[in-house]
Amino acid sequence: MRQFNARTVLMASSMLFSGVAIVPAAAQTPVAPTSAEAAADGDAIVVTGSRIRSANVESVSPVTQVTSEDFAIRGVVRTEDLLNQLPQVFAAQGANNSNEATGTAQVDLRGLSPSRTLVLVNGKRLPYGSPKNIPSDVNQVPTALISSVEVLTGGASAVYGSDAIAGVVNFKLIEDFEGFKMSANVSAFQHNNNNQPLRELVDGFNTRVPGQYPLADDSVWNGFAQDYSVVMGTNFAEGRGNVTAFASYRKVNPILQKDYDYSACALGATGTGGDQFTCSGSANNAPANLTNSGRLNGVPTSFRVSNGQFVPGSSTYNFAPANYYQRPDERYMLGALAHYEINEHLIPYLELNFMDDRSIAQIAPGNNNGGITVNSSGISGINCDNPFLSAQQANFLCTAAGLSTGSVYDSAGNYVAPQGVANGVLVARRNVEGGNRQDDIRHTTYRIVGGVKGDLFGPFRYDLYGQYANVGYRSRFTGDSNRPRTANAFYAVRDQRPGSATFGQPVCKINADANPDNNDASCAPLDYFGPQASQASADYIAEFKTITGDTSLTNIVLSIDGNLGEYGIQSPWAESGIGIAFGAEYRKNTVDYQPDEVYQNAASPEIPISGATVAKEAFVELNVPIVESRPFFEMLSVEGAFRYSDYDTGFTSNAWKIGGTWAPIRDIRFRGSFQRAVRAPNVIELFSGQSLFEVELTENADGSFDPCAGARPFATAAQCANTGVTAAQYGFIVDNPAGQFNSLIGGNPDLQPETADTFSFGTVLRPSFAPALTVSVDYFNINVKGLVGSVNPNLSLSNCITNGDPFFCDLVQRNPTTGSLFQGEAGYFKRFNVNTGSLRTSGIDLNIDYRLDLEEAFSSSLGSVGFNLVGTYLGSYKTTPLPGSPASDIYECKGLYAGLCGRPRPEWRHKLLTTWNTPWNLAASVSWRHVSSVKVAQTSSQPVLTGSFAGVNRELGSRNYFDLSVAYEIRKDFNLRVGINNIFDKEPPLTTTAAIEDGGNGNTYPQFYDATGRYLFASVSVGF
């Protein structure tokens, strides 16, 4: 009850004050604050990547800063939408994921996966995002209080501990707000559907299968979002204390794939070499597709239901229209920050945060295979006396195979058995009567940080804090079917019991036999041989599943830092003393994940997880200025850090870094570092049970996905035999036209920590002849070894087929009855967590920031223009799948996508922001976002990548997006802003092989490309 009241009050206050975006003043800043800036502030600062406070420190590692102005310019209501525009960031879980969605928003630096990116708030780590999925959820960050976001790429484990392999994202919050501010932001998407070839394609399929291929409207408006926030704060005790409180409400409406001509059907490939798009879909259809895996004589391998008859062949189901392109979301947040300086030695502080976030993932109606026999291979078999079989169907299936269609009853009219059973026949049906599948996901987060800091003695300061965070998780999944109840309902017979109320009618076999103990009054017979099953049978087989759980973080950190120059410990050629920081940390992460009994016994079960990891750590850091203010040595300094970690899972690790900075003159600075970073396996990676998960294979040139499927398989019989295909199965295995297959995943308590060696070197230019210009160029090289992961099924299948390698062939487990890798649960790829090989990525970051005063330059009172360019060149993204992998198995994914390479890895990405600040209280900003083209992995000449591919997937073309934002200051602290992102409504590049696990959805990668049209927004911010 208290929760309801809190939400009600928060909603009321948010709506009353109508208030998201501030209109501050800086664009993306390429580097950490400069010495001059820090000195001007008169205070020591701490930059992300170090715990040492100093008035002249600059990061030895590249740091990109995103300000609150960037949030306003983009008009975003979700933090991940802004971060994903940075070229260092690759899209991860977010609002555009629906199938297998976690309900969280994650950050993936350098494309090394979100689990290798550490997320901080005010320098303190966020908890696990969910007990289902570990990476931190940036939904937990209060957007209304964000002052800036600092993105450090490269290892930082020596400073912050585990997980900081790819880098760190540090959200810095406003801690001294004074006054009252209300903000509001509303937005929506608009798209003109004018892709005529695709519209004609969809319309043609809808003519053949009316209602299954709806044509999108010519113009659509959707995805309406609203975000309101209130921030209030006050200073007290003559400025020695401050309390800042905030509350916010966000609601985002869903977007369906049916709204876009390029996502209204699941695209496949056709034509010569697969050079044309066609509408494809799932092998589980409505009406049903059937497979004769029992090899009944006289019956085709594949046949389907059509107008009450069986006909040879199969038809696909268009699952796309019902899938969400953007999940609906509703979030409530409130919290407070406070600090009070009792004296210089004692400054207690407090951070409180509460979040309640609910999101719904929706995909098409589920697959429900019919049958009367349930075993380890799945569910199959049809009783030949099924009263729903038409005369033609009974003859097609049973009589033609020599099976009787008669029944056996006892003397009392109780049903005994059928005289014939079509064993091994699989019925692949979409449960359309049960409605769309929905996963109602809710995260409730409480986070409290309490600490005390201040002067210790001499030059030393301390910071001691304790943090406890808890993320509650609840998932309620609807739309699936219960397998035992399906078998009961599918086993329909004719009731011959005299006096029965259902005499002569189809009933469930369990209610018509002589055994009263198996009766189920709710059982309604299921008709999968006609156009539609009854609602009573759909209700009976419906399955409702729930998962509850939570994850918590307990974190205690003591950090002491100081400048040893006060003791005379400094270089004789330096003006500043040696900076030092040291301390200790205790960290405990827990996970409790509890699927209900229905989930645990489902066809694809979820297994409970319960576990914890504890780390005890000690760290030290040094910053040693060697030479300052000397000819050719304006600054020369070195720094180092070391962290020792002891985990209760039985291992220890060491992380360290060494770096240096040399500025021969004020105008130029060189920096470089080498770091050893460590990531310990998390609770889920260690302790999760085995469960089935979807995996997608890459489409071959002939349109197949499983190269051993179809009447004329893409691979030879000998090659397929390597994967477990028998001679009897070859040529009779059914492919999945959706490209989705089973994988069996699970944890491993024997995992060892990952290690990463990170090298970076760069230069920062601030020429004195152009003081408003800053240029930084940095090279990065990250090599992660002992990767915690699994062997990619595309690699397993390719190696097994090509050379019969027993290691890879053991990872391919075909259904022993059918040879399938997707029908039933007995066929799958093994993908258990192991320490695999290594992953190396390298490239160059470019940052240019320039401000031109138009009055000084042109004697014109037109204000100023600012330019900011952030770009990344990807030089390499190379994977060694396993320790000791031969050179032929090592593959480079730069400029490639799909297959073993997964999500797109473009060689070049940039964002150029140009802002004109006029003298009339008006500012206009234009952004140019560029993503270079990528080719499908099979186009590569590398042995492990090269292979067959559909022509339509050859290349995802480059994309250029342009955004416009205009802000007007009505008066001080009263600002209006309107804007359009993707002004020209650029469509995303399309492919038939965008895997779900790589962020694929709706025939593209919607977290990576702008997939839902132009984005229009308006915001207002009022302060007092």
Tell me the C-alpha distance between 800 and 814, whole Å. Answer: 13
What is the pLDDT, as a whole number, of residue 5?
43
Sign of CA dihedral 278, 361, 90, 985: positive
Q: How many distinct structural domains can be found in the chain?
A: 2
Residue 27: closest CA among 850, 860, 993 = 850
How far the first Cα of the chain sits from its last, in Å, is 34
Q: How many other C-beta atoms lie within 10 A of the C-beta of residue 532?
A: 12
Confidence label for 26 from pLDDT (cuts 50, 70 and 90): very low
Tell me the C-alpha distance between 405 and 416, whole Å. Answer: 14
Segment 572-622, tens digit of pLDDT: 999 999 999 999 999 999 999 999 999 998 877 888 999 999 999 999 999
Which spans in 42-94 are helix H?
Answer: 68-74, 79-83
Residue 526: closest CA among 414, 407, 368 = 368
- Segments forming the whole domain that contains residue 409: 283-316+366-439+478-546
Is 694 inside any structural domain? yes
Phi, psi of 545 (to 5 degrees): -125, 145
Confidence label for 38 from pLDDT (cuts 50, 70 and 90): very low
Residue 930: closest CA among 900, 953, 908 = 908
Is 100 inside any structural domain? no
Is 567 inside any structural domain? no
Tell me the C-alpha distance between 574 and 638, whole Å. Answer: 12
Question: Considering just the CA atoms, what is the radius of gyration of the chain in Å?
Answer: 31
Question: For strand 579-595 and strand 542-563, is the pairing parallel, antiparallel, or unpaired?
Answer: antiparallel
Query: Two tokens at 400?
Result: 């033609």
What is the pLDDT, as a whole number, of residue 692?
83
Tell me the C-alpha distance between 856 and 861, whole Å. Answer: 9
Dihedral in degrees, nearest 10, Cα atoms 740, 101, 267, 709: 0
Least confident of 153-162, 656-665, 677-686, 779-788: 153-162
Tell me the C-alpha distance between 691 and 485, whole Å. Answer: 21
What is the pLDDT, as a whole number, of residue 55?
54
Is 677 inside any structural domain? no
Tell me the C-alpha distance between 333 and 445, whole Å. Answer: 9
Query: Two tokens at 56?
Result: 């002249």
Query: Two tokens at 63?
Result: 């740091």
Q: What is the DSSP letter of 96?
A: T
Cβ proximity of 124 and 161 under 8 Å: no
Residue given tokens 């010569």 in the structure block: 272
Residue given tokens 């499927």 in the structure block: 709
Cβ proximity of 102 and 547 under 8 Å: no
Segment 285-339, tens digit of pLDDT: 999 999 998 889 999 999 999 999 999 999 999 999 999 999 999 999 999 999 9
Confidence label for 13 from pLDDT (cuts 50, 70 and 90): very low
Confidence label for 928 from pLDDT (cuts 50, 70 and 90): very high
Tell me the C-alpha distance between 312 and 274, whole Å. Answer: 24
What is the pLDDT, as a whole number, of residue 14?
38
Residue 940: closest CA among 949, 952, 929 = 949
Cβ proximity of 383 and 372 under 8 Å: yes
Confidence label for 1001 from pLDDT (cuts 50, 70 and 90): very high
Residue 693's H or E segment, with its range, is strand 691-696
Query: Two tokens at 202?
Result: 């969809």
Is 731 inside any structural domain? yes
Q: Name residues whose C-beta falls within 8 Å of residue 524's C-beta, 6 or more positions apart in sequence.
A: 489, 508, 534, 536, 537, 539, 540
Phi, psi of 539 (to 5 degrees): -65, -35
Residue 483: closest CA among 365, 389, 596, 366 = 366
Residue 531: closest CA among 316, 286, 206 = 286
Query: Two tokens at 1013?
Result: 């049209």
Per this entry, what is the length of the chain? 1024
Residue 285: closest CA among 102, 165, 428, 160 = 428
Is 383 inside any structural domain? yes
Cβ proximity of 202 and 278 under 8 Å: no
Q: Name residues whose C-beta falls within 8 Å of residue 54's C-beta, 6 or more positions apart in sequence.
A: 38, 44, 45, 563, 576, 579, 623
Is residue 643 predicted with pLDDT exceeding 70? yes
Tell me the C-alpha distance between 885 and 707, whole Å. Answer: 24
Q: How many other C-beta atoms lie within 10 A of the C-beta of residue 203?
A: 14
Q: Name residues whose C-beta falls within 8 Å of residue 633's C-beta, 6 or more positions apart in sequence.
A: 573, 627, 662, 663, 664
Residue given tokens 């994940």 in the structure block: 593
Q: What is the DSSP letter of 1001?
A: B
Segment 771-829, tens digit of pLDDT: 999 999 999 999 999 999 888 898 899 889 988 989 999 999 999 988 999 888 889 99
Is residue 9 predicted with pLDDT exceeding 60? no
Is residue 126 predicted with pLDDT exceeding 50? yes
Higher pLDDT, 70 or 493: 493
Mean pLDDT of the chain: 91
Tell me the C-alpha distance between 129 and 133, whole Å. Answer: 6
Mean pLDDT over residues 454-479, rounded? 96
Is 860 inside any structural domain? no
What is the pLDDT, as a whole number, of residue 936?
96
Segment 270-281, tens digit of pLDDT: 999 999 999 998
Query: Two tokens at 1023?
Result: 């302060």
Residue 1014 CA, chain-centre distance (Å), reads 22
Determine what percent of the chain falls in helix, strand and coil, rounding each to the nearest 5: 15, 45, 40
Mean pLDDT over residues 629-634, rounded? 94
Question: For strand 754-765 and strand 834-835, is the pairing parallel, antiparallel, or unpaired?
Answer: unpaired
Percent of the chain with pLDDT over 90: 76
Q: What is the DSSP letter of 60?
A: S
Q: How many other C-beta atoms lie within 10 A of the C-beta of residue 900?
A: 22
Segment 731-768, tens digit of pLDDT: 999 898 888 899 998 889 989 999 999 999 999 999 99
Cβ proximity of 890 and 124 under 8 Å: no
Q: Where are the beta strands (DSSP E) in 805-958?
A: 812-813, 828-832, 834-835, 838-853, 864-880, 891-892, 896-897, 908-917, 922-931, 934-936, 955-956
Cβ proximity of 117 and 109 under 8 Å: yes
Tell me the C-alpha distance between 281 and 270, whole Å. Answer: 13
Tell me the C-alpha distance between 192 and 215, whole Å. Answer: 13
Is residue 54 predicted with pLDDT exceeding 70? no
Cβ proximity of 65 and 34 under 8 Å: no
Percent of the chain with pLDDT over 70: 95
What is the pLDDT, as a whole number, of residue 11?
38
Residue given tokens 């003791």 in the structure block: 567
Is 535 inside any structural domain? yes
Residue 209: closest CA among 325, 323, 306 = 306
Ramachandran category for residue 693: left, alpha or beta (phi over 0 → left; psi -120 to 50 → alpha): beta
Mean pLDDT over residues 173-180, rounded? 93
Tell me the C-alpha distance between 537 and 368, whole Å. Answer: 13
Residue given tokens 């360290």 in the structure block: 656
Burial tier of 636 (Cβ tally within 10 Å: 0-12, 13-18, 19+): buried
Is residue 1007 predicted with pLDDT exceeding 60? yes
What is the pLDDT, as a whole number, of residue 47?
72
Phi, psi of 294 (to 5 degrees): -80, 0
Q: What is the DSSP letter of 986?
A: P
Phi, psi of 272 (to 5 degrees): -65, 120
Residue 962's H or E segment, with its range, is strand 959-971
Q: Name residues whose C-beta falls within 8 Å of residue 651's C-beta, 6 or more positions apart in sequence.
A: 680, 752, 753
Is residue 44 predicted with pLDDT exceeding 70? no
